[in-house]
Amino acid sequence: MRQVSVVIPIYNEAENIPHLIPAVAAVLAAAGLDYELICVDDGSQDGSTEVLRRLARQRHDLKVVILRRNYGQTAALAAGFDQARGQVVVTLDGDLQNDPQDIPKLLAKLAEGYDLVSGWRQDRQDHGLTRLLPSRVANWLIGRVTGVRLHDYGCTLKAYRRELLQDMHLYGELHRFLPALAYIEGARIAELPVRHHPRRFGRSKYGLGRTFRVMMDLLTIAFMKTFLTRPMHGFGLVGLGFLGLGLGLGVYLLHLKLGGQSIGQRPLLFLAGLAVMAGLQLFCFGLLAELLMRTYHESQGRPIYRVREIVGGEPPLLVNGNPLRS
């Protein structure tokens, strides 16, 4: 037996929710798992909130977290992780494209000693131009930058050990970089092919407009991977390089001046001054970044979401679909 928390971010999926919740619960109950379902409503405007409220009152295996507005998938997942009580946390999308039947397979792989098992939508059922091509380019680029080579970073269907999630703090669009963040924390990561179904109801929330945000977060991950605990090594090294260049040019210009040549109008004089100032500024940025990193690691941090209400109280984990009694 293993306690499993299934976290499902929801945004405008009113038609999918009544089919999704029973399907996930049936798979977990059939596998003999102790489980809880946590749906995070991320500011839905299509009636999803009322559907979730109604289901939470009817089912004792479901907790619904309703956020005040649409914060994005990263914040919705973070809210679900904070509410999860299982030893293992599984995430999947609320659009019925992920197959709940794949959850036991991910859990079995996790039990082999991995900390994170990521799904790979090998036969992805999405539009080629707007979804598949950008996704493949992004997966290749993320793998190159982070060093974690996965076929499908964007697949929400993943299984995590709870202690791994407790060490990670999410913001921006970092949900798609969770394997890279886990790798930074020293996690053992595996990938498994999973099924992917065409969307039956509603419309996709993803598009090319997210590319810029993803690229900015990728640069953040690249910096964190190398300099998270030692930013001075990054800023300081570049700063010393500029400082050395400026001082070298200054020595050269001084030599010319002592030789009787005029240097007042030489471009090298301005370049030397600019290099010295840039070097000093970068070195100071490095010192400030060191102080910020110490503050970040030593403080509790500020949450990236605000909960409006939680429906369903503290539902008991279920064994074979029945409440687990203490």
Q: Is the pLDDT of residue 265 over 60?
A: yes
Q: Is the pLDDT of residue 300 over 90?
A: no
Question: Do 8 and 40 form a contact (C-beta atoms < 8 A)?
Answer: yes
- Of residues 50 and 263, more confidence is placed in 50
3-227+304-323 maps to CATH 3.40.50.300: no
CA angle 34, 39, 41 (to 5 degrees): 170
Nearest partner of 161 among 128, 117, 122, judged by Cα: 117
Question: Do 12 and 41 form a contact (C-beta atoms < 8 A)?
Answer: no
Q: What is the pLDDT of residue 1?
A: 39
Determine the Cα–Cα distance for residues 13 and 216; give it in Å rounded to an integer.
28
pTM of the model as a whole? 0.72
Question: Do 121 and 194 form a contact (C-beta atoms < 8 A)?
Answer: yes
- Of residues 180 and 60, more confidence is placed in 60
Task: Report the pLDDT averaged over residues 102-111.
Answer: 95
Task: Report the pLDDT averaged over residues 263-271.
Answer: 83
Task: Report the pLDDT averaged over residues 231-249.
Answer: 83
Q: What is the pLDDT of residue 226?
A: 64
Instruction: Give the residue extent of every domain in the chain.
Output: 3-227+304-323, 231-295
Q: Which of 140-144, 184-188, 226-230 has the lowest mean pLDDT?
A: 226-230
- The separation between CA 58 and the C-alpha centre of its own chain, rounded to angstroms, equals 32
Read off the pLDDT of residues 20-64 as tens digits, 9 standing for 90 and up. 999 999 999 999 999 999 999 999 998 999 999 999 999 999 999
Question: Do 36 and 63 form a contact (C-beta atoms < 8 A)?
Answer: yes
Read off the pLDDT of residues 154-167 as tens digits, 9 standing for 90 and up. 889 999 999 888 87
Q: What is the pLDDT of residue 69?
A: 93
Determine the Cα–Cα distance for residues 4 and 96; give it in Å rounded to an integer.
20
Nearest partner of 27 among 124, 105, 116, judged by Cα: 105
